[in-house]
Amino acid sequence: MDREGMVGVLMERASVREYTEQEPTRETVEAVVRAGQQAPFAAQLGSLLLRRDRERNPFGAPLLFTVCADVHRLERVLERRGWTRITSDAAVLLFAIQDAAYMAENLVIAGEILGLGSCYLGGAAFAAEEIRADYGLPPRVFPFVQLAMGYPASRPRPRPRYPLSFTLHEDRYREPSEADVERAMAAMDEGYLAQDYYRDYVIPLDGGRRETYSRHTYSWTEHMGRKWGQWLADAEDLLGPLRACGFEVGRVPERREGGSSPA
């Protein structure tokens, strides 16, 4: 595949929520995971759990990867070298989530190149205690996202994105004007409406608010409002699962002299 072909794979990708009966072979799964491992890393702080159980996997997918921020293995390595980690949990988690997420995205891309589709599932972090029990995770491993994967039964069209100028700031952050925000919102809303994307899924309004949207007007920006304006207001929703996995994000450790970025 040439360079343009590879970029084309990324431009055509869309999340897949319907899979064929075809089982990915062990070789294919290993190729995808090896490509994942080859992602850039701060300290190889990502690990993957794999479940091949269509009955239990979302969308009946043949593969479900649970992506973990894994500080446990680093601590095992440090211990053997006679070091103790003093980096705060907040900082180590920032790097661990990055390592694991870049790895997971390499799985997505490698999968696409090999004909596999995929879809992330963001609920894992909030169900970390159940996942931890299910897979027998040691402390200091935090499952934060899942990735369903398999051969697509259908290929959705690529979903819209903000205009490039709304995302890319050259030299200096450019505060968007009201017109820029409106244009960006229209690009998203019109794009999703044209695909009738939310035909099966409208987030209900909490607190007795009256519904004023229909399938023909409910689109991405209203969907964002209903998610980020109604859900997960309590930090404990995340801090609780983190604690259950052995991470104390708010704890301030003893001050010590030392370096800056461990990456």
Ligand X SMILES: Cc1cc2nc3c(=O)[nH]c(=O)nc-3n(C[C@H](O)[C@H](O)[C@H](O)COP(=O)(O)O)c2cc1C
Residues lying near ligand X in the complex (CB under 6 A) are found at: 14-15, 17, 119-123, 145, 159
CA separation for the pair 204, 218 (Å, rounded):
11
CB-wise, 127 or 239, nearer to ligand X? 127
Instruction: Give the pairing type, strands 141-150 and 63-70.
Output: antiparallel
Number of alpha carbons in the 13 Å side-chain half-sphere of residue 251: 14
Determine the 3-state secondary structure of 164 from DSSP: helix
Task: State whether residue 236 is helix, strand or coil.
Answer: helix
Across the beta sheet with 141-150, the strand order is 46-51, 63-70, 141-150, 117-121
Nearer to ligand X, 76 or 227 (CB): 227
Compare residues 123 and 250 and give the one whose CB is closer to ligand X: 123
- Closest approach, Cβ 122 to ligand X, in A, equals 3
252 vs 263: CA distance, rounded Å: 20
- In the complex with ligand X, which residue's Cβ is closer, 35 or 145? 145
CA 121 to CA 144: how far, in whole Å? 9
Residue at token pair 């996202």: 145
Closer CB to ligand X, 61 or 121, in the complex: 121
How far apart are alpha carbons 31 and 114 in whole angstroms?
A: 9
Three-state SS at 98? helix
Q: Which is nearer to ligand X, 119 or 184 (CB)?
A: 119
Nearest alpha carbon to residue 69 among 140, 146, 149, 148: 140
Q: How far is the CB of 145 from ligand X (least distance, A)?
A: 5
Q: How far is the CB of 79 from ligand X (least distance, A)?
A: 32
User: Cα 87–69–224 angle (5° rounding)?
Assistant: 110
The nearest distance, CB 8 to ligand X, in angstroms, is 15
Shortest spacing between CB 198 and ligand X, in angstroms: 10
In the complex, what is the shortest distance from the CB of residue 75 to ligand X, in angstroms, rounded to a whole number? 26
Least distance between ligand X and beta carbon 48 (Å): 15
Q: Which two tokens stand for residue 172?
A: 């200096």
Amino acid symbol at 214: S
Q: What's the CA gap between 246 and 254, in Å, rounded?
A: 18
**Token pair listed for 153:** 């039964």
* 13 versus 140: smaller Cβ distance to ligand X: 13
Nearer to ligand X, 139 or 158 (CB): 158
Which residue number has the CB closest to ligand X? 122
Shortest reach from residue 250's CB to ligand X, in Å:
23
